[in-house]
Amino acid sequence: MTQVIRTSAELREKVATWKRSGMLVGVVPTMGALHDGHMSLVREARKQSDRVIVTIFVNPMQFNNKDDLAKYPRNEDHDLALLEAEGADVLFAPGVHEVYPDGFATVVSVSGVSEPLEGAFRPGHFEGVATVVSKLFGMTQAGRAFFGEKDWQQVQVVKRMVEDLNVPIRIIPCPTIREEDGLAMSSRNVRLTPEERALAPKLYAEMQAAAEAIRAGAPVAETLAAAKAAISAAGFGDWDYLELRTADGLRPMTELSEPARMLAAVHLGDVRLIDNIAV
Ligand code: AMP
C-alpha cells in the first residue's frame, strides 16, 4: 500500500516512526507524469533504503515559461497505481500553498555550476530546483536521494548545494532510461506529435556518433557543429546548446582531456528536448 500524504506535518510524523526503528529513508523527487525513467529511480531507492518516499510536486518556481507550466502533464491516479506496483511506501504530494505558504521569502541560489547551459537558457530554473529540493530534503528528512542523470546539470547543482549547506543526505545519480529507439524518456514527450516523435531519436543517434568521432580524435568544435547541422537538417527547431563539458563541474572543453559529458537542448515542435551522454 502506498500512503498518500499531503502535509509536511503528517510526513514528519511518519518519518519519525521509521527513524525510531533505525530505518534508512530514501526519497525520489519528481514532478509526476511518471514513466519508466522515474520508476528506475524508485527501484534503486528500494534497493538502497528501508523506506521509500516519492514526491510529486510540479514546482512553479522552477518554470521560467508559464505555458510550459500550464501544459505540464498531470495524472496522479495513474502515478499512484505505478507507485503501488513498485512498492513505494509514501507518495508525498503537497499543494503549492503547503510548499510556499504566504510570506515565503527564501531562495537557494547555487552559483558556478548552475550558470551555463540550462541556467543560461532557463533563467531562475536552478534557483527553483535548489530551493524546492532543499525544502523536500528538510520535509522528508531522507538519508538518500535518487536523481536521474537525464538531468545531469541538475545532479551537479544538487550535489553542490548539499555539500555547501551540510545537508545530511547522500545523492545517488541513476542512469538515463531510454525508449527502444534511444529517445530519453521524459514526461514532456507526450506532447510530441507522431511526426515529431518519429524524428526525436535522431538527437541521441547524432550525439552518439559525435561522441564516437571525438573519442577517435576528431576536433571537438567542428564535430559538434556538424552534429547540430545534421539534426537541424532532419527537421528540428531552434538550438539552445550542444556542448562538450567536463563531467564534473561542467567547465567548457575544447579537447578531450578528462572525463567529459556532451549535453544538448534543442526544440522540436512545442517541446524542448534535453539529453546528455558520457564521452
Ligand atoms: P522530473 O519529474 O522530470 O522532474 O524528474 C524527476 C526525476 O526523474 C529527476 O531526477 C530526473 O532526472 C529523473 N528522470 C527523468 N527522466 C528520466 C529518465 N529518462 N531516466 C532516468 N531518470 C529520469
CA 37 to ligand 1 centroid distance, Å: 6
Beta strand 90-92 pairing with 239-246: unpaired
pLDDT tens-digit profile of 16-39? 999 999 999 999 999 999 999 999
* Position 158 confidence tier, pLDDT thresholds 50, 70, 90: very high
Average pLDDT rounded to a whole number, residues 99-103? 98
Quick one: which atom of ligand 1 is closest to the CA of 186?
16
Ligand 1 interacting residues, C-beta cut-off 6 A = 30-31, 37-38, 40-41, 147-148, 150-151, 174, 176-177, 184-187
Protein residue with least CA distance to atom 5, ligand 1? 30
Average pLDDT rounded to a whole number, residues 60-78? 96
Phi, psi angle pair for 108, to nearest 5°: -95, 120
What share of the chain in percent tops pLDDT 70? Answer: 100
- pTM for this entry: 0.98
Q: Which of 62, 150, 153, 271 to mutate to test the pocket of ligand 1 (most atoms within 8 A of CB)?
A: 150
Q: For position 261, what pLDDT does the model report?
A: 98
Q: For position 110, what pLDDT does the model report?
A: 98
Q: For position 245, what pLDDT does the model report?
A: 98
Quick one: which atom of ligand 1 is closest to the CA of 185?
19
Q: For position 144, what pLDDT does the model report?
A: 98
Q: For position 207, what pLDDT does the model report?
A: 98
pLDDT tens-digit profile of 190-225? 999 999 999 999 999 999 999 999 999 999 999 999
CA 20 to ligand 1 centroid distance, Å: 31
Q: Which of 211, 245, 215 is nearest to 226 (CA)?
A: 211
Q: For position 31, what pLDDT does the model report?
A: 98
Q: Which of 30, 53, 158 to mutate to test the pocket of ligand 1 (most atoms within 8 A of CB)?
A: 30
Q: For position 268, what pLDDT does the model report?
A: 98
Q: For position 65, what pLDDT does the model report?
A: 94
Q: Which of 27, 36, 38, 186 to mutate to test the pocket of ligand 1 (most atoms within 8 A of CB)?
A: 38
pLDDT tens-digit profile of 128-149? 999 999 999 999 999 999 999 9
- In the residue annotation, 38 being an active-site residue is answered as yes
* Position 240 confidence tier, pLDDT thresholds 50, 70, 90: very high
Q: Mean pLDDT across the chain, nearest whole number?
A: 98
Q: How far apart are CA 228 and CA 179, in angstroms?
A: 22
Strand partners, 184: 178
The 3-state secondary structure of the chain reads CCEEECCHHHHHHHHHHHHHCCCCEEEEEECCCCCHHHHHHHHHHHHHCCEEEEEECCCHHHCCCHHHHHHCCCCHHHHHHHHHHHCCCEEECCCHHHHCCCCCCCCCCCCCCCCCCHHHHCCCHHHHHHHHHHHHHHHHCCCEEEEEHHHHHHHHHHHHHHHHCCCCCEEEEECCCECCCCCECCHHHHHCCHHHHHHCCHHHHHHHHHHHHHHCCCCHHHHHHHHHHHHHHHCCCCEEEEEEEECCCCCECCCCCCCEEEEEEEEECCEEEEEEEEC
Contacts of 103 (CB under 8 A, 6+ apart): none
Q: For position 193, what pLDDT does the model report?
A: 98
The three grid cell numbers given for residue 50, joined into one nine-digit string: 528501508
What does the CA dihedral 250, 256, 257, 258 come to, rounded to 10 degrees? 50
Protein residue with least CA distance to atom 6, ligand 1? 30
Average pLDDT rounded to a whole number, residues 265-274? 97
